[in-house]
Copies of this chain bind each other. A is one copy, B any other.
Amino acid sequence: MKKSVIHFDRPPTIIASASVVGAQEKKGPLGDSFDLYDESDRFGMNTWEKSESEMQRMALSAAITEAGLHPSEIDLLFAGDLLNQCVGSSFGLLSFEIPYCGLYGACSTAAESLLLSSIAYSAGAAELCAAVSSSHNCSAERQFRFPVEYGGQRAPTAQWTVTGAGAFLLGAGGRIEVVDVMVGRMVDRGISDVNNMGAAMAPAAIDTLTRYFRETGRAPESFDMIVTGDLGREGSGILCDLLLGEGYDIRKNHVDCGKMIYHIDEADMHAGGSGCGCSAVVLASHLLKLMESGTIGDILFLGTGALMSTMSLQQGNAIPGIAHLVHLKTKGEGGEQA
């Protein structure tokens, strides 16, 4: 039979994680849970792109330190970001000298890097993997829209690119297991409004979730939490409404990292956070802490991404979305494991 859900006989665990954020994220409701931040968003660098690289370096370094490891002990590194040619990752992670697979999954990169790490571990291709992703508000805004100094007005459906980097180490011995994963398909429903990424990505999340529920036979309410990356307020509403039409009610246990990361009343945040860093830092800090404390034990984590460029938009293409799923479970949860 055709496989879509990839189940691991040899499931990896998350053995360490770290998050690095900017000032705006630190001020948000999850501010206390992040590991490192810089009030200036610069991280000691003189360009925004170098600041983003530095966040990746700091995040991976913090995760490695937390695990009491040396970079040379890590077999494989999966990383990506939003910058042209993914230079946030290449320059940020160069100094670690770890065998490196560069990814481009737009804002789904945190989930993509976690699922590829899990596949590599499960294959025995690596005993220890690192998964890193980032975005920076100032490098993303000037690349995709306007330089921040321009002060362009933003639409109510627009999201705010998170300044943040998240790093995860996967291997044996941790408490939180990657039970299974599902690779997303590209879905294009004709949304071409760059100020409404949530609407562009929601159909991909619907595609992945309906395929997952059907194949596993599990009901949405059987999970403690169904987390999407950065659909924001607009995309989250679309997701919940349309899934209800498919017979799946996720309204009670759905949360979205883009909705969680900023205070709702912050005018400039509009529909919420976005960017590769958004789901990466919320998972690396807040969500994993909730799992470690036993508050939640069984969650679906979906990275959602919009696979466009400024040029693809200028040339009249719509915005295809993608949503990768990672199923995380605290060991011992549900009495299945010791």
Contact = CB atoms under 8 A, between A and B. Distances in A.
Interface of A: 2-4, 6, 9, 47, 49-50, 72-73, 75-76, 80, 82-87, 90-91, 93-94, 97-106, 112, 116, 119-120, 122-127, 182-186, 188, 307-312, 315, 317, 320, 322
Can you list the 3 inter-chain pairs with the closest CB atoms, starting with the nearest?
A123-B123, A99-B183, A90-B307
Contacts of A84: 84-85, 309-311
Given A49-B312, A105-B102, A315-B49, A87 B307 contact: yes
Number of copies of this chain that the complex holds: 2
A80 B308 CA distance: 13
A317 to B, nearest CB: 6
A119 B125 contact: yes
A91 to B, nearest CB: 6
Nearest to A100: B186
8 contacts: A3-B75, A3-B127, A4-B75, A85-B104, A99-B183, A100-B184, A100-B186, A119-B120
Given A123-B119, A186-B90, A100 B322 contact: yes
B188 A94 contact: yes
A106 to B, nearest CB: 7
Nearest to A85: B309
Given A102-B103, A183-B101, A184-B100, A123 B122 contact: yes
Given A90-B320, A91-B312, A94-B186, A80 B99 contact: no
A61 B205 CA distance: 26
Contact of A182 (B87, B99, B186): B99
